[in-house]
Amino acid sequence: MSSGEAQRLAAPERGADLDDLAFIRDRRVGHLATADAGGKPSVVPVVYALVVLDGDPAIAIAIDEKPKGDARALRRVRNILERPEVALVVDDYHEDWRSLAWVLVRGAASLIEPGSPGHAEALTALRLKYPQYGVMRLEASPVILIRNVSTTSWTGSDTGGEKPAERFGREELAALVRGRRSVRAFDTQPVPRPIVEEAIAAAGWAPSPHGRQPWRFVVVESPERRNALADAMAETWRAQLRLDGQGRQIVEARLEKSRDRLQRAPFLIIPCLYLAGLDVYPDPDRQRAEETMAIQSLGAAVQNLLLSLYAAGVDGGWMCAPLFCPDVVQAVLGLDTALKPHALIALGYAASDPVRRPRLPLDELIVDWQ
Ligand SMILES: Cc1cc2nc3c(=O)[nH]c(=O)nc-3n(C[C@H](O)[C@H](O)[C@H](O)COP(=O)(O)O)c2cc1C
């Protein structure tokens, strides 16, 4: 049907929606449901064409296979003769279910013999739509015409699913991602506990291997615990810095700065790797890969946490110290040995606006695009 014909269609008196008719017009295969006098249903795939007869939409279906030369031997034809009510469903399938769609047509079907009103129009519409019919001798065959059509339809976007580009304010997201920065000096203003809980909940939404969330978070709030943690980690760090050959004064200055950070931040969060729920492999290579996936995922969880804090006006500073002395952290905080401390996030309100580190330009980040 041309667009002109679509416009010529009568207003949807019997519930035939113009958009639904356009959908049907543009698809090539449908499924025709008929039933016999006793109600026994039958469904067959059909090709069809939309025709306009006396200003009303109708659907034409050719009969191009005739067992023993008799169209009436076909079940769909016998059913229609016994019971004219039929349904035709035309649908779109897509792996993105927001793009699913179908239109259901109901109507009264009849068998139209050659020479009867509508037969010639039906054949013309079918031949225009399907060139295959051009070489078939259909003039002497009856066609099925569905009239009094009404339509019902549904699309995946009816569920409220939107296209990705329309989901969120992209500018806001960019501002959030670019605004976050590491803060290493905090003032003493307390951070409301719900902000911390919300940030940890956001961490929980990070992607993870097999969806098993191989990380847990320890929150350290009490000053005594923070001091004990700072002291214990300082011992290890002092020994390590001295091992690196750093002078005593420099070592003590760095330790003091780190201790100050841990003591001033209202909360410390220790993201721990928790491998208990992950797959176990007989070979070390796959086992290592499994653990690497968990560590990658821990990084994603921490980023969610930092962005959530930043959105709430709270800053965080990522410290790697626990990674270098996990057993010390476990011991001083009395943690289960299945929890492997991987980092420490000191969080609070920034004492000053820190200098931002520059970032690589996009063309350095993308090393290949094929
Ligand atoms: C795994 C990891 C460990 C880090 N460890 C420390 C740390 O021990 N001390 C520190 O001051 N910053 C640490 N950072 C923060 C980085 O120095 C910081 O993210 C980087 O310089 C970029 O700056 P920005 O976070 O302000 O954008 C760490 C970051 C990551 C991802």
Residue range 354-366: mean pLDDT, rounded: 90
Any atom of ligand 1 within 6 Å of the Cβ of 181: yes
For residue 184, report the distance from its CA to the centre of ligand 1, in Å.
Answer: 10
Which pLDDT does position 153 carry in this prediction?
Answer: 94
Q: Are residues 203 and 133 in the same domain?
A: no
Any atom of ligand 1 within 6 Å of the Cβ of 320: yes
Any atom of ligand 1 within 6 Å of the Cβ of 319: yes
Yes or no: say if 290 and 278 are a contact pair by the CB < 8 Å rule.
yes
Q: Are residues 326 and 178 in the same domain?
A: yes
Any atom of ligand 1 within 6 Å of the Cβ of 254: no
- Whether the per-residue pLDDT at 46 is higher than 80: the answer is yes
Q: Are residues 247 and 305 in the same domain?
A: yes
Q: Which tens digits make up the pLDDT trace of 116-139?
A: 999 999 999 999 888 889 888 888
What does the DSSP 8-state code read for residue 131? G
Q: Residue 188: which of 26, 355, 349 has the closest Cα?
A: 349
pLDDT interval class at 357 (50, 70, 90): confident
Any atom of ligand 1 within 6 Å of the Cβ of 318: yes
Mutating to test ligand 1, I would choose from 236, 320, 344 the residue with most ligand atoms within 8 A of its C-beta, which is: 320
Could you give the CA distance from residue 140 to residue 71 in angstroms, rounded to a whole number? 11
Whole domain around residue 68: which residue ranges?
A: 3-159
Which residues, in sequence order, are bridge partners of residue 86?
107
Q: Are residues 147 and 212 in the same domain?
A: no
- Whether the per-residue pLDDT at 5 is higher than 80: the answer is no
Query: Is residue 61 one of the residues assigned to a domain?
Result: yes
Which pLDDT does position 159 carry in this prediction?
Answer: 59
Residue range 207-224: mean pLDDT, rounded: 96
More confident residue, 288 or 6: 288
pLDDT interval class at 9 (50, 70, 90): very low
Could you give the CA distance from residue 226 to residue 218 in angstroms, rounded to a whole number? 12
CATH number of the domain enclosing 8: 2.30.110.10
Any atom of ligand 1 within 6 Å of the Cβ of 355: no
Q: Are residues 134 and 177 in the same domain?
A: no
Residue range 141-167: mean pLDDT, rounded: 79
Residue range 288-302: mean pLDDT, rounded: 98
Q: Are residues 116 and 186 in the same domain?
A: no
Atom of ligand 1 nearest to the CA of 356: 26
Q: Which of 120, 140, 159 is the last residue of a domain?
A: 159
Query: Is residue 9 one of the residues assigned to a domain?
Result: yes
Query: Is residue 185 one of the residues assigned to a domain?
Result: yes
CATH number of the domain enclosing 340: 3.40.109.10
pTM over 0.85, yes/no:
no
What does the DSSP 8-state code read for residue 89? E
Yes or no: say if 112 and 80 are a contact pair by the CB < 8 Å rule.
no
What does the DSSP 8-state code read for residue 287? H
Q: Which tens digits make up the pLDDT trace of 80-97?
A: 999 999 999 999 988 778
Which pLDDT does position 68 carry in this prediction?
Answer: 65
Q: Are residues 176 and 269 in the same domain?
A: yes
Q: Are residues 131 and 245 in the same domain?
A: no
Q: Which of 159, 181, 201 is the last residue of a domain?
A: 159
Residue range 18-27: mean pLDDT, rounded: 92
Q: Are residues 151 and 259 in the same domain?
A: no
Give the count of domains, the chain: 2
For residue 183, report the distance from its CA to the centre of ligand 1, in Å.
Answer: 9
What does the DSSP 8-state code read for residue 323? H
Query: Please, what sign has the CA dihedral across residues 42, 43, 47, 51?
Result: positive
Which pLDDT does position 165 carry in this prediction?
Answer: 54
Q: How far is CA 345 from the centre of its chain?
A: 30
Residue range 41-56: mean pLDDT, rounded: 95
Q: Are residues 30 and 139 in the same domain?
A: yes
Query: Please, what sign has the CA dihedral across residues 143, 144, 147, 151?
Result: negative
Q: Quote the mean pLDDT of the chain.
A: 90
Which pLDDT does position 166 carry in this prediction?
Answer: 55
Percent of the chain with pLDDT over 70: 92
pLDDT interval class at 32 (50, 70, 90): very high
Mutating to test ligand 1, I would choose from 176, 182, 273 the residue with most ligand atoms within 8 A of its C-beta, which is: 182
Q: Which tens digits make up the pLDDT trace of 160-200?
A: 555 555 567 778 888 899 999 999 999 989 999 999 999 99
E-state strands within the chain? 30-35, 41-46, 49-53, 56-62, 85-92, 101-112, 143-155, 215-220, 267-274, 315-319, 339-341, 344-348
Which pLDDT does position 8 carry in this prediction?
Answer: 39
Residue of the CA atom closest to atom 21 of ligand 1:
357
Query: Is residue 370 one of the residues assigned to a domain?
Result: no
Any atom of ligand 1 within 6 Å of the Cβ of 346: no
Residue range 132-156: mean pLDDT, rounded: 91
- Whether the per-residue pLDDT at 10 is higher than 70: the answer is no
Residue of the CA atom closest to atom 7 of ligand 1:
319
Structure tokens at 149: 């059509």
Residue of the CA atom closest to atom 19 of ligand 1:
182
For residue 223, report the distance from its CA to the centre of ligand 1, in Å.
Answer: 24
Q: Are residues 218 and 321 in the same domain?
A: yes
Yes or no: say if 316 and 346 are a contact pair by the CB < 8 Å rule.
yes
For residue 86, report the distance from its CA to the centre of ligand 1, in Å.
Answer: 68
Could you give the CA distance from residue 340 to residue 271 in angstroms, rounded to a whole number? 8
For residue 93, report the distance from its CA to the centre of ligand 1, in Å.
Answer: 46
Q: Which tens digits make up the pLDDT trace of 319-343?
A: 999 999 999 999 999 999 999 999 9
Residue of the CA atom closest to atom 6 of ligand 1:
319
Residue of the CA atom closest to atom 11 of ligand 1:
319
Query: Is residue 58 one of the residues assigned to a domain?
Result: yes
Q: Are residues 106 and 219 in the same domain?
A: no
For residue 182, report the distance from its CA to the centre of ligand 1, in Å.
Answer: 6
Query: Is residue 54 one of the residues assigned to a domain?
Result: yes
Any atom of ligand 1 within 6 Å of the Cβ of 152: no
More confident residue, 300 or 17: 300
Q: Which of 125, 159, 193 is the last residue of a domain?
A: 159
